[in-house]
A and B are shown apart, each in its own frame.
Chain A
């Protein structure tokens, strides 16, 4: 294992400490328990947005704390949900009297810990709503599993719901737009290589030199099938097909196309994939109205990508275009 770390047990603490120093204009970091909070929180009358989950997906979630997006992020250990305590502390820190929305990726641990924290917050008189994201179409039999996972669509939910909260929407309205975005988003990913969790020290799974794993999640867990390596265009088709089968589009409908890197794939390859995806969508008469290309929700150093398609409406476009100022997404101000 070759990594730029000091001590596997201090990876999250030291990384978050660096993040705090680098982005002191945007966030403050409280430790014990650890949470990253927007510098000007709580904002009176604004719905607070809290997300979190295991670390190792950077820039998600701390990279999205700031104006127009999250009010707080709660980083757990690598690939491990945070415990209820820091989620509760973050919830209290961002409550401006208008309630708090938890944005939770659908993984058993995240859901259980956020639920427990929400119960504790409610006991302290804070109104909490939760939106559980589950955009991953790789999970086929959601009746017989823990359900579809929350993956890259989560970034889009956080941006759009964050903009709704920033313009002054109520908790009910912010939760509703977050639900709407989640329901309109579909994602699927693949990996060329596994990743190495620092404290485990070994790859999360093994792949032959010419093998790829289709349908991965974001925690280094294996996916739904293994195939031989193919050209980029064919890989893109493999991801897009199940996405479009799951949520069909009528000609003329608008979409946000998000090509996400898993951490170890360079931008140059992501744009090759974007080119093909845009081509396929155009052929089907789908209007790619907005785009996002880059590594925004990662799996440590995993090489791979995911594609997310979000069916857009006028309000989503307006909220997507609204100003945002975070470490990882910044436009309009």
Chain B
């Protein structure tokens, strides 16, 4: 069963709830190795996105929601996260432009495009202790699941689990990009806040898919 506009809207609402719930955790992670604004900025961004969901035109498809999230995050989040997430959602929207129902392969394409967008903008590589470390395993797991014939919800579940493992795996890493990179070896021992928020968003996508498909 494919995922449609209801899923995309639900994903976005769940993202806003989940970011709001973890606002302080993200601030704490960011204070340890960054500048302590990640939770605040993401919460502000998703609050703004939520407020705009009701204005979606009738007949909208998932890519319209992704585009709305992209433009809103770019204009409200600031910091590095705004342009990075904005680009991810924009590229993800392009990958599934106009499609009303997304199957497992489409979801894998969406996530891969999102990851490519982040890499393009931020020029970080896997292992640099950034959100790429959540997105790359997520995109890879999604692609593998889709190729094995998994449905959309199972593809998202695989992606979310891989993102969570990826975020956790940033803990021992030494940051090579972003604000944390200035700490050098002292950045080890802390989870990257961008990888953590990425994992939260992908888990919200998987939860929304499970709710939509009744699995």
Which A residues have a C-beta under 8 Å from some C-beta of B? 33, 54, 76-85, 107-109, 112-113, 115-116, 138-141, 144-146, 149, 197, 199-200, 202, 204-205, 217, 219-224
Question: Secondary structure at chain B's binding surface: helix, strand, loop or mixed?
Answer: helix
Min Cβ gap B130→A in Å is 9
Interface size class of B (residues with CB under 8 A): 20 to 34
- Contact of A145 with B176 at beta-carbon distance under 8 Å, contacts A81-B78, A81-B79, A83-B78 already known: yes
CA A297 – CA B29 in complex, angstroms? 26
Q: Are B36 and A109 in contact (CB under 8 A)?
A: no
Docked-complex contact A112 and B83, CB < 8 angstroms: yes
A-B contacts besides A146-B182, A205-B31, 8 pairs, CB < 8 Å: A54-B37, A77-B78, A78-B37, A80-B37, A83-B75, A108-B80, A145-B181, A221-B179
Using A80-B41, A108-B177, A222-B183 as known contacts, say yes or no to A204 and B78 having CB atoms under 8 A apart: no
Which 7 residue pairs across A and B have the least CB separation, nearest first?
A: A145-B181, A109-B80, A109-B79, A112-B83, A108-B80, A219-B35, A80-B78
Say yes or no for B178: interface residue by CB 8 A criterion. Answer: yes
Residues of chain A lying within 8 A (CB to CB) of residue B176? 144-145
* A82/B78 contact (C-beta < 8 A), A219-B179, A220-B35, A221-B179 known: yes
B75 touches A112 (CB 8 A): no
Contact in complex: B84, A112 (CB < 8 Å): yes
Given A79-B36, A80-B78, does the pair A116, B83 have CB atoms closer than 8 Å? yes
- Distance in angstroms from B118 CB to nearest chain A CB is 11
Given A141-B184, A145-B181, does the pair A221, B35 have CB atoms closer than 8 Å?
Answer: yes
Q: Tell me if B77 counts as interface (CB < 8 A to partner A).
A: yes
Q: How far is the CA of A115 from the CA of B27 in the complex (A)?
A: 26
Most B Cβ at <10 Å: residue of A138, A141, A200: A200
**20 A–B contact pairs at CB < 8 A?**
A54-B35, A80-B41, A81-B82, A84-B75, A108-B80, A109-B80, A112-B80, A113-B79, A145-B175, A145-B182, A197-B35, A197-B36, A199-B27, A200-B37, A200-B40, A202-B31, A221-B35, A221-B179, A221-B183, A224-B184
Looking at A146, A197, A219, which has the most chain B CB atoms within 10 Å of its CB? A146
Residues on A with C-beta less than 8 A from B44 are 77
User: B residues engaging A (CB < 8 A)?
Assistant: 27, 31, 34-37, 40-41, 44, 74-84, 121-122, 175-179, 181-184, 186
Residue of A nearest to B175 (CB): A145
A contact face: mostly helix, strand, loop, or mixed? loop
Select from chain B the residue with minimum beta-carbon distance to A149.
Answer: B182
Q: Are A84 and B183 closer than 8 Å at their CB atoms?
A: no
Q: Smallest CB-CB separation from A79: which chain B residue?
A: B35
Are B37 and A77 closer than 8 Å at their CB atoms? yes
How far does the alpha carbon of A78 sit from the alpha carbon of B79 in the complex, in Å?
Answer: 10
**A142 (CB) vs chain B CBs: closest residue:** B181
Nearest CB on B from A314, distance (A)? 35
Give chain A residues whose Cβ lies under 8 Å from the Cβ of B31.
200, 202, 204-205
